Structure 1
Amino acid sequence: MEQSSLIASCSSSRSGDEQSCSQDCGKIAQDEDEGGHSGKKTGIDAIEEHKQEEGSASGHVQALLDMDAETVTEKILYFSKRLNFDTPACGDYHPEYDQEQLNQLGEQLALYRIRAYELTVDRKLAELSDENLKLEYPASKLYDNGFFEYYEESLEWYFDPERCTSARFDNYQRLVLHGYRGYLDWDFYSSILNTYEEDVAYVQYFEEVANKTKWIEDYLGDSKIEWERIRSLALMQALEIAAGFPNVSPLLVTYGFQEYINSIKRGCYSKGLDGLYFEIWKRVAKEKVSTSMSFKEALLEIDMKDMFPSRSCEIKYDLENNLGRSPIKKFVSSSLEHLSVQTSDDKARQLIREVIRGSVSKPLYYLDYARRKLDIADDIELIPKGMQAFNRHTQFRSKYYDKY
C-alpha cells in the first residue's frame, strides 16, 4: 500500500452510524514489597499522585493542541512510514486437502460444534474435553450426522466451507461470525483472514488508542474545521502507537481508526441527554416543582440557564422552529409518558437512561467482531491453553460485549 493511499484512507470519513468503543481502560498495577506491604497509596499521597497524573495528562494534551498543522502533517507521514507494510506472500502454494485429510478435519471441527452446542444447554466445559467427546461421539456417529454442521444454524458462528478445503488456513481463520448480529460491515469483517495472534494485537492496539486519545471527546462539539484538526492529532497519536503493534496491518490501522472515530461520535451523541430529558420531565410533571410548566416553558428555562451547553443547538432548534418539528418534545412525549408523577428522581433518571439506550442504534464494528471471535475461540477451546492466556491479557473481554 502506498503512503499516499494510506493517508487518504486515514483522512477520509466513512459513512454510517457509530457505536461507542471508547473506554477508559487504564489500571495501575500495585505490587506488595518484600515486607508484604501494599504499594497502594492512600489518603493525601493518593490524592496528590492523582493530581499529578491529571496535570501530566492535561499538559500532554495542551502540547498536542499547540502543534501547528505543518508539524502534525509531517509527523503523520513519518509515523505512516514506520508501519509494517510487509505482507505474507500470497503466492505460496497450499495444497488442497485429500479426502482422508478432509475427513480428519471434519471430525475435528465436529467436536468444536458439539462443544459449543453443549455449552448452550448448560453442559460443563470440564465434561467436554476431546477425550470425553470422542467416547460419546465416535467417528461413525460424526459421519452419520454430517459432522453436526447443522448445529451451526443455532450458533452465532460457523466454519467457512471454502476455507476448510485448503491447508492455507488454520481453524481460527476458518471461524466466521454470522452476519445478523448487527455488524456494520459484515462482508468486510468476515473476509479478514487474521490469525488469532493478529486479532489479539488488533484489540490490544485499539484499547491503547482509546486510552491515549480519550481527550478528543471534549472537542466533539467544536466547529468542523476545529474538529478536523483534533482528528488529525488523534490520527497522529494512533499511527505512533501502531509502531508497537507490527501484527496489525496498515489497512486495519487506517480502517479501524475511522471506525473508532465513528464510535466516539456515536457514544457521545447520547451524552448528557439523560440529564436534559430528566430536567424537562421534572419541570413538566406535577408535584416535581411548585408550579408545573408546559414543555416549551421548561425548555426555555433550561436554555436561559444554559444548563446543557453541549445540547444548546438542539434546544434552540426545538424552541425556534415553526414547522411543528420538535425532536426533543417527541421523545419526551412518546418515551417518558409511562413515568408516574410519584416516581422518585433517582428511579426516573435510571428509567430515562434505559429508554435512551434502547432508542439509540448501536452498530458493531470490527473491534466488536474480533473481540467476540476471540472469546468464542477460547470458549470452545479452539486455541491451545497458552494462547488463551495471551488473549486474557487484553483488557476487554465478554463483559464489554452486549450479548444477544
Structure 2
Amino acid sequence: MLTAASSSSRKNQGKEKVVVHSRMSPCHHSSSNKQQTKPSSHNISCARRTGQHIRVRATKHLTTHNAGGDSAAKDSAVDPCVNSQGVHSIIQNLRDLGFGEDMTYDEYLCCLKHLPDAPPRVDTSRKLRLGSAQLCNIFECHALYRIKAYKLSQGVSKSDMEDDKWKEDYPPSVLKEMGYFLSFEKDGTLDWSFHTDHCYLAQLDDYQRLVPHNYFNKHGDIVYEKWDEYRQFFHSYEIEQEYVDYCAELSEKLKWIEDYVTIERPLWGAISTRAAYQALKIASGFSRISGDLAYTGYYELVSSMTFDICWYKELDSVHFEIWKRVANQKKCFRDALDEVCKLDKFPLRQDRMRYALDNDCSAIENEFYVCTAGITDEVPEDKAKEMIAVAVKELREKPKWYEQYVKRKIQIARDIGLIPVPKVSAPRVDETTILVLFSQWTILLI
C-alpha cells in the first residue's frame, strides 16, 4: 500500500518533463467543438483558402531559421517560376497519375454535407457542485487510476491488477487522506493527468478529462505546440480512435504531396486544393470524421512533411558522403564538403553547402562531428549511414501533432483500464482466397 512517506519520497524523483501551456498556432483554424447543422461558412471557405493557409504553415518552417543563411532549413525553399501553362501541365500530370481529386464547387459542398457534424460544443458553464457525491466519486476513481498507473510503472504486471483486489487497500478515507494521490501528477511520477479544469465539467467523461502532459524536449522546444487547443477538443474515445485511423490512411494516400509542399504559389495552391479534396473524400469513408477534423489531419500532415523535408531529408546523406571522404580518404572537412557539393546530388542542401564554402564552414562542420560522433574506422559503411541518420533526427526533435497526442492519450487510457484493450481478431480471408483454397481442395479429392 502506498503511504504518505512513500509519496513524499518521490517528490524529487520526477521526470525531467515540465508541464507547460502552449500558445495556439495562428494558422490553425480547426474548431471541432462547434456544432454544425450544415456546412458552415468557415468550412465552405476552407477549400478556397487551403493553398494559402498551408503555404503559410509550410513556409514558416523554411523561413524562421534562415538568418545568416547557415541553417539546415535554408536549402529547402524551392521558388520556381511557374506560369499558368506550367500549372496546367503539372496538374494534368497529377490527374494522369491519379493523384488528388477534381471537384467542382458544388461537388465539394456535396462531399462536405456527407461528413458528420462536429459534436455539440461542451457547455463549460455546467459544473459539478464542490463537495457533491458525484464529484467525490470522480476524485476517488481518478485516485485509483493514478495508483494503478504508479504500480504498473514499478513493474507490477497488468494481470496482477485485473481482479481489482488491490483496491481494497485504498478505501475512500485513505484516498482522501492522501489527497487523492494528486502528487503523482504534480511531481513527474505520471506524464498525464485528469486536468483540474475538466474534472468539474458535468458533460465530460473520464476519457475526455484525461490529458497527456506537455513538456519541453531536450532542445528546449515545446513538444505539443497546440496542446492547450488539443485538450479542449473534448472528443470522445470513438472519435479520436477513428481520427488515428483517418490519419494513417491520409499518410498513405497523400504521400505524393511530399514532393510539392515546398513549392511556391501559384502551383502549390492548385496542388494543395487537389490534395485537400482527396483528404475530404478519404474522410467521407469514416463515420465520425467531421469537416474540421478532416482539415486538421490534412494541415498537420503537410506540416509534418514540411518539417521532415526542412530538417531531415538529404542531410543524413550529405554527412554520410562527407564522412566517407574524411574517414576513408583522410581529407580535411572543407575539401570533403567541396567535393560533395560538386556532386550536385542533394538539391535541398546545395545552397547551404555553397554558402558554407563561400563564407564559413564552422556551423555545418560542428553539425557533422555531432552526427558522426562514435563512428570509428571499424564501423561498416551501412551501419555508419544508419547511425548518421539517427543522429540527424536528434539534432532537432520533431514536434507532435494531434495524431500523436491522441495516440498517447489512448495508450494511457488502455493502460489504466479507462477504455478496453481491443481484441486481436483473426486475419480476414477474402472470397477469392476461399475460392482458390476450395478449388485446390476439390482437385486433391479428385
TM-score norm. by structure 2 comes to 0.67
Aligned-partner residue type, residue 146 of structure 1: G
Alignment partner, residue 364 of structure 2 = 328
Is the counterpart of residue 308 in structure 1 residue 346 in structure 2?
yes
Distance (Å, rounded) in 1 between the aligned partners of 2:345 and 2:237: 48
Question: Percent same amino acid at aligned positions?
Answer: 32
How has the CA–CA distance of structure 1 residues 107 and 353 changed in structure 2, closer, same or farther, with 3 Å as cutoff? Answer: same
Match of 1:375 among 411, 420, 437: 411
Which whole-Å deviations, capped at 9, do the CAs of 1:146-197 have from their partners, x for residues lacking one?
2222222221111123332343111101111212161121111111101111
Alpha-carbon offset, residue 369 of structure 1? 0.5
Contact 1:9–1:255 under 8 Å retained in 2: no
Amino acid at match of 2:346: F
Partner of 2:277: 236
**Structure 2, unpaired ranges of 5+:** 1-39, 63-92, 217-222, 427-446
Match of 1:125 among 155, 158, 161: 158
Which amino acid is the alignment partner of residue 271 of structure 1? K
Unaligned runs of 5+ in 1: 19-58, 394-404
TM-superposed CA distance for 1:207, in Å, is 0.8
- Where does 1:1-20 land on structure 2 (aligned, <5 Å)? 1-2=40-41, 3-7=43-47, 10-11=50-51, 12-13=53-54, 15=57
What is the rounded CA distance, in whole Å, between the counterparts of 2:270 and 2:363 in structure 1? 30
What amino acid maps onto 1:360 in structure 2?
Answer: R
Q: Distance in 2 between matches of 1:233 and 1:217?
A: 14
Aligned partner of 1:160 in structure 2 is 195
Q: Give the structure 1 partner of residue 211 of structure 2.
A: 176
Whether 2:399 is the aligned partner of 1:363: answer: yes
Q: CA deviation at 1:116?
A: 0.8
**Residue identity matched to 2:246:** Y
Correspondent of 1:260 among 297, 301, 307? 301
Aligned ranges for residues 17-166 of structure 1 at < 5 Å?
62-64=96-98, 71=103, 76-85=108-117, 87-88=119-120, 96=128, 99-129=132-162, 131-153=164-186, 154-166=189-201
C-alpha distance 109-337 of structure 1, shift in aligned 2 (>3 A): closer
Give the match's secondary structure for 2:182. helix
Letter in 2 for 1:102: L
Counterpart selection for 2:247 from 194, 206, 210: 206
Distance 1:223 1:263 in 2: 18
The structure where helix makes up a greater share of residues is 1
> Of residues 315, 318, 321 in structure 2, which corresponds to 1:273?
315
Whether 1:192 and 2:237 are equivalent positions in the alignment is no
Hey, what does 1:389 align to over in structure 2? 422
Q: Provide closer, same or farther for how the CA distance between residues 309 and 211 of structure 1 changes in structure 2, counting only shifts above 3 A.
A: same
- With over 3 angstroms needed to count, the CA separation of the structure-2 counterparts of 1:222 and 1:300, relative to structure 1, is farther
Would the aligned equivalents of 1:10 and 1:257 in 2 still touch at CA under 8 Å? no
Tell me the equivalent position of 1:344: 380
Change in Cα spacing, 1:246 to 1:8, as seen in structure 2 (3 Å) is: farther
Tell me the secondary structure at the aligned position of residue 244 of structure 1: coil
1:345 and 1:176 mapped to 2: Cα distance? 43
What's the TM-score, normalizing by structure 1?
0.74
Structure 1 residue 9 displacement after superposition = 6.2
Say whether the 8 Å CA contact 2:262–2:306 is kept in structure 1. Answer: no
Determine if contact 1:111/1:133 at 8 Å carries over to the other structure: no
1:277-326 per-residue CA deviation (whole Å, 9 max, x = no partner) reads 111121123xx13xx4343433343344333344334333334x3x4366
Q: Residue type matched to 2:116 in 1?
A: N
Q: Which runs of 4+ in 1 moved over 6 A?
A: 390-393
- Offset of residue 353 of structure 1: 1.8
Q: Partners in 2 of 1:373 and 1:391 — Cα distance?
A: 20
The verdict on how the C-alpha distance between 1:214 and 1:338 changes in structure 2, with shifts beyond 3 A counting, is: same
